Amino acid sequence: MARIRVITDSSCDLPPALAEQYGIDIVPLTVRFGVEEFVDRRDLTPSQFWSRVAASPILPETAAPSPGAFEEAYERALAEGYDGVVAITLSSGLSATYQAAELGAKSVAEAIPVRVVDSRSLTLALGMMCVSAAQAAEQGKTIDEVVDVVEDVKVRTRVYATLDTLENLKKGGRIGGAQAFLGSMLSIKPVIEISSETGKVEQESKQRTRSKSIRYLADKVRDAGKIEQLAVLHGDAPDLGDLLDMLAEFYPREEIIVGDIGAVIGAHGGPRTIGVTYQVPR
């Protein structure tokens, strides 16, 4: 039976214990505050990142990993006895990470087969795709069968989040279809979604208050019906417990995965971003 390693990037925001449980290897992006550069989640934990955001007048910027960083991860999988790799990355509509993973794969093509999948998503939506892939690999599926599982999960994945500000998205150039929010950004709490078709940020809803936007997220989950892999993502959000309480009204709280938004997504979403991700039925 072939052993398949799942590799992703640090935008996945997977809880470390979950990544370790499934042997998911994570290639880090980098984050910059002015001239200071940090390796995501190695030099800067999510809590350290948010502390720095609060204290810094400079908006952080991020950079994709190099093809060489992915090449090293693929070679590491080979050295650890894996027969193939499925690499699932941050949306190509938002980052050059996918292209770096593809270039790295070409460099090791003669040594180990690598399939690179564009998640067209981010944060824990990407992370849960990786968990699905790792579960399929544990079941003994071939490399192409694991990719098929990811493609199935990808089209069924939904991710919604509410932001306290659009300033980070605007300055980072990642605002996509949420451009329509800008005219009234001071008077609303925007709810965005990541389109599974384009992999870009799109407008979903305008809510007048933070509490209404949190309730809106819970209602989206409730109205989706019988869902899979519910996860909550947040960037130092003080009302995380409120959202979890709302979701627990109709979904077992102990089954909800909670992940901290780190530097990669946090640099563009801004502080107090909070969201949900799940898969709808086939």
Counting residues of the chain whose pLDDT is more than 70, the rounded percentage is 92
**Widest distance between CA atoms in the chain:** 57
Using one digit for the tens of pLDDT, what is the confidence trace for 154-200?
Answer: 999 999 999 887 665 555 444 454 454 444 455 678 899 998 888 99
Place of tokens 């690999």: 137
Supply φ then ψ for residue 57, to 5 degrees: -80, -10
What pLDDT sits at residue 46?
A: 95
Q: Model-level pTM greater than 0.85? A: yes
Using one digit for the tens of pLDDT, what is the confidence trace for 201-226?
Answer: 898 998 989 999 999 999 999 999 99
Quote the CA–CA distance of 5 and 138 in Å, as a whole number: 10
Compute the residue count for the chain. Answer: 282
Quote the CA–CA distance of 155 and 117 in Å, as a whole number: 12
Judged on CB neighbours under 10 Å (0-12, 13-18, 19+), 183 is exposed
Cross-strand partners of 39: 30
